[in-house]
Structure 1
């Protein structure tokens, strides 16, 4: 099956607030991603799986050039180079930063993607990467993997990278809250009428906002990343 062009992609990170059913993951993910960008991004940057380049503003004054590649064109027509993530037709050691967010789970050859990032980086360049440990199936059938922190460490070190940091995005309480929101959000045409009614009330009364508040509070008071939703990873080319 050919991947569809002009797929809907995230365009404005500022619009994700507590009324969003995915607020809990974005709360932690965006905070840690922005921290990594401000600390490590520099020079000429390649964004693998760039989509609509939603984080472009976060790189302002940090980089000198921003090139985005993806396997298909995005809904806002922001992709500069169409190619596979494991076969990028650019010269060796031509970037100071490689960036890739929420893409690696969709790449069949994820090791090939990491190897390409290593090849394209200059020595002492940084690879800023993110991907899920928990998330529902999406963009099927092109949804292949979930990663633990140990999995990220393994594939990056196998390519030759030195790990700088691996940061969990939310703890067990936040993950539970996100699972609750997802469970009530998902539509199932064959569902029992009682369950259908409960899901309707959940959506109608916007209970997901209360879930967001409660589980954000619990995660702050009892943070445990043993069951996290996502990771932001930074690695350096030696």
Structure 2
């Protein structure tokens, strides 16, 4: 099956506010991703699964060149190289930094993608990788995996990387709040009248704003990463 082109992708990191039903994931994910980029990004950079390059603004002044690859062209026509993530037509040892955000769960052979990143990085180069632990099915049927911190460590070390840090994005309260927003926000034609009514009121009254406030507050007061929404990982090529 051919992947759909020109999919609507995230195109800005400035649009997340309390009224966004996905506020909780972006609140924690973007904070940790920005920190990793500011600390480790350098030199010539490759973005695997770049989409609309939403994090380009964070890279200005830090890198010398930004090349983005993806399997299909993005909705804003930002992809430089159309290719599979496991077969990128570029020379080995070409980049000081590689990033790949929220793409690994869509790659059938994620180990080969990580191996390819290792091949393309120069020695002592950094790989900044992110992917979900909790998220609903999306871009079906090309949604294959979810990763624990141990899973990320395994596939990166197997490729030869040294793990620098693995950072959870939100704790158990934030994850629960995001699940509530998803469960009550999604329409389901098979739901009975009571369930449809509850969901309708949730959307009509914009109760996800209240959920965002309550669960972001609780997550700060009782931070527990036994359940998290996402991970940001930084690894180095030895």
Q: TM-score, normalised by structure 2?
A: 1.00
Matched residue, 2:211: 211
Is residue 156 of structure 1 aligned with residue 149 of structure 2? no
Is 1:87 the equivalent of 2:97?
A: no
* 1:147 corresponds to: 147
CA distance in 2, matches of 1:13, 1:81: 23
Cα distance in 2 for partners of 1:196, 1:127 equals 44
Distance 2:137 2:60 in 1: 33
Deviation at 1:13, TM superposition (A): 1.3
Structure 1: 5+ residue runs without aligned partners? none
When structure 1 is superposed on structure 2, of 187-196 and 118-127 the one drifting more is 187-196
Q: Deviations over 1:60-114 (max 9, x none)?
A: 1110000000000000000000000000010000000000000000000100000
Q: Which residue of 2 aligns with 1:42?
A: 42
Aligned mates of 1:30, 1:162 — CA distance in 2: 23
Answering whether residue 73 of structure 2 is matched by residue 73 of structure 1, we say yes
Cα RMSD (Å) of the superposition? 0.4
Quote the offset at 1:204 in angstroms. Answer: 0.4
Runs of 4+ in 1 over 2 A off after TM superposition: none
Q: Give the 5 Å matches for 1:24-43.
A: 24-43=24-43
> How much does 1:165 deviate?
0.1
Could you list the runs of 5+ residues in structure 2 that have no partner in the other structure?
none
SS at match of 2:226: helix
State the aligned residue count: 238
Secondary structure (helix, strand or coil) at the match of 1:181 reads helix
- If the length of structure 1 is used for normalisation, what is the TM-score? 1.00
1:197 equivalent in structure 2: 197
